[in-house]
């Protein structure tokens, strides 16, 4: 598909779901992938194992994005490899609940991981991308950030926020050869959506013209495109991969 040979990619939240599929897809195109995790070290190692077994190159790194310490960890990775070309900020959590029941702690945690975590990761990555005058930053937003969803006010705020982050960073760093884009997936089969009830699933499927939930691999295909040399004229964009749920 696209040639990512000699590229070094960091994927936060690479241990599971969309991050996992993205790590595997980037490696399949030749990138060396750093599979980031917070608590799932074994899962991250499994992903690195899948990549190696397929002839690719990967390592794992604890990258807990809820603290700005993640910046040091990403800087260290960039220094060790002498470059960092691609950042996929897929680390994310969802805590659902109607606004009147939403706890401050939940609100703070969602912002810390989903929004601040992506900004910290971007800051560290962009620092080393600037020197190389090349970079691809891909932030995982959500259809919910664009449409809203009852019971997901705080989650939606973090995901809408990422669109603003992508557009602002795109403007700041376009002249340095760095593109910054968001991907807004619809409902994708991962641990995050596995907890949905049958009734919730039916409600979602009724709203998806394609008539099914998406796969992590379908999101990863968009990640690979945005990470490619060929996507150099795409920046500040939000790529919707949602089965037509929102257009």
Q: Is 37 a catalytic residue?
A: no
**From 37, 155, 173, 233, active-site residue:** 155
Q: Does 66 bind ligand NAP (CB under 6 A)?
A: yes
Q: Does 228 bind ligand NAP (CB under 6 A)?
A: no
Q: Does 193 bind ligand NAP (CB under 6 A)?
A: yes
Minimum gap (Å) between residue 167 Cβ and ligand NAP: 18
Which class for 209: exposed (0-12), middle (13-18), buried (19 or more C-beta within 10 A)?
Answer: exposed
- List, in sequence order, the alpha helices (H) in the chain: 17-28, 41-53, 69-81, 104-110, 117-132, 143-147, 153-173, 191-194, 198-206, 216-227
Part in contact with ligand NAP (CB under 6 A); list of ranges 32-40, 78-86, 198-206, 223-231? 32-40
Q: Which two tokens stand for residue 47?
A: 């992903």
Q: Tell which one of 10, 37, 102, 136 touches ligand NAP (CB under 6 A).
A: 37
Q: Tell which one of 24, 65, 73, 226 touches ligand NAP (CB under 6 A).
A: 65
Cα within 13 Å of Cα(118), Cβ side: 29
Q: CA-CA distances (angstroms) from residue 159 to 6, 93, 164, 166, 218? A: 31, 11, 9, 11, 19
Q: How far apart are CA 188 and CA 185, in angstroms?
A: 7
Q: Does 181 bind ligand NAP (CB under 6 A)?
A: no
Q: Does 60 bind ligand NAP (CB under 6 A)?
A: no
Q: How far apart are CA 136 and CA 180, in angstroms?
A: 6
Torsion of CA 192, 198, 204, 205, to 10 degrees: 120
Q: CA-CA distances (angstroms) from residue 120 to 17, 113, 146, 164? A: 21, 10, 23, 15
Q: How far apart are CA 191 and CA 100, in angstroms?
A: 26
Part in contact with ligand NAP (CB under 6 A); list of ranges 23-31, 48-56, 74-82, 191-199? 191-199
Q: How many residues bind ligand NAP (CB under 6 A)?
A: 31
Part in contact with ligand NAP (CB under 6 A); list of ranges 24-32, 127-135, 165-173, 188-196? 188-196
Q: Tell which one of 154, 170, 187, 243 touches ligand NAP (CB under 6 A).
A: 187
Minimum gap (Å) between residue 178 Cβ and ligand NAP: 21
List binders of ligand NAP among 112-141 (CB under 6 A): 113, 117, 140
Which residue, 95 or 177, is less far from ligand NAP as judged by CB?
A: 95
Q: Which two tokens stand for residue 171?
A: 């403007």
Which residue, 133 or 143, is less far from ligand NAP as judged by CB?
A: 143
Which residue, 134 or 225, is less far from ligand NAP as judged by CB?
A: 225
- Positions touching ligand NAP (CB under 6 A) are 12-13, 15-19, 37-40, 43, 63-66, 90-93, 113, 117, 140, 142, 185, 187-188, 190-193
């Amino acid at each position: 598909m696209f040639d990512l040979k000699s590229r070094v990619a960091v994927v936060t939240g690479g241990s599971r779901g969309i991050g996992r599929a993205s790590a595997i897809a980037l490696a399949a195109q030749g990138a060396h992938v750093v599979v980031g995790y917070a608590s799932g070290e074994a899962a991250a190692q499994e992903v690195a194992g899948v990549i190696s077994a397929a002839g690719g190159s990967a390592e794992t790194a604890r990258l807990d994005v809820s603290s700005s310490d993640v910046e040091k960890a990403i800087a260290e990775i960039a220094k060790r490899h002498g470059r960092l070309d691609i950042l996929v900020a897929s680390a994310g959590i969802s805590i659902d609940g109607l606004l009147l029941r939403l706890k401050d702690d939940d609100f703070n945690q969602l912002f810390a991981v989903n929004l601040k975590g992506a900004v910290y990761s971007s800051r560290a990555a962009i620092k080393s991308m600037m020197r190389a005058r090349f970079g691809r930053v891909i932030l995982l937003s959500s259809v919910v950030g664009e449409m809203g969803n009852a019971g997901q006010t705080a989650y939606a705020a973090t995901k809408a926020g990422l669109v603003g982050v992508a557009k602002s960073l795109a403007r700041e760093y376009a002249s340095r050869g760095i593109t910054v884009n968001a991907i807004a997936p619809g409902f994708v089969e991962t641990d995050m959506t596995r907890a949905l009830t049958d009734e919730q699933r039916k409600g979602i499927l009724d709203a998806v013209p394609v008539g099914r939930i998406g796969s992590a691999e379908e999101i990863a295909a968009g990640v690979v495109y945005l990470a490619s040399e060929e996507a150099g004229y795409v920046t500040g964009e939000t790529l919707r991969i949602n089965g037509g749920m929102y257009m």
